[in-house]
A = this chain, B = another copy of it.
Amino acid sequence: MRSPTELAQVFRSKQLKLTPQRQLLFSLLHENASHPTAEALFEVASKQMPGISLRTVYQTLGELAEMGELQLIDFGVGATRFDPNMGDHHHFVCDSCGAIRDVDITSAPRLRSGSGDGFAVEDVNVVFNGLCSRCNQPNKRSPGHQAKHKKK
């Protein structure tokens, strides 16, 4: 995802308004490697801007995704994750604590189009499931040090 300043340019150039809500979300997403859910972003945003609507968070995230500024990732459990890292990478998901880490494409075999089966492959998504280093310690396994679902 581009920087908040660059995004501001883009938005202006498309007669999209630079609302405080959008600016806040730009800054919260910038360089954010936590792969947050909409809800998670909403929680954080609400602290800086009480009254911001969850609907607006969804709205803005959807717009940014449509603009190619961030990707939506569905790991099949819980809510969709949002990732401002548009580089070619995959993901590791800890099944115990829910932590998500980037897996650089260079550390994984490169999967490309042309299966030769008539498919036109346009996207490849690789998800590694397992236990993160923290949860893999047999003794002090901590299945709750990251929230997997909504608590409330």
Binding site for B on A (CB under 8 A): 73-77, 80, 92, 94-95, 101, 103, 107-111, 113, 115-133, 136
Contact = CB atoms under 8 A, between A and B. Distances in A.
Nearest to A135: B120
Nearest to A136: B120
B95 A119 contact: no
A122 B129 contact: yes
A120 B126 contact: no
Copies of this chain per assembly: 2
A95 B119 CA distance: 11
A107 B103 contact: no
B126 A124 contact: yes
Contacts of A75: 74, 76
A125 B120 contact: no
Given A92-B115, A125-B126, A126-B125, A131 B120 contact: yes
Contact of A111 (B76, B126, B131): B126
Nearest to A121: B130
Most chain B Cβ neighbours within 10 Å, of A107, A108, A122, A125: A125
Contact of A118 (B116, B119, B133): B133
A128 B76 CA distance: 15
Contacts of A108: 111
B130 A118 contact: no
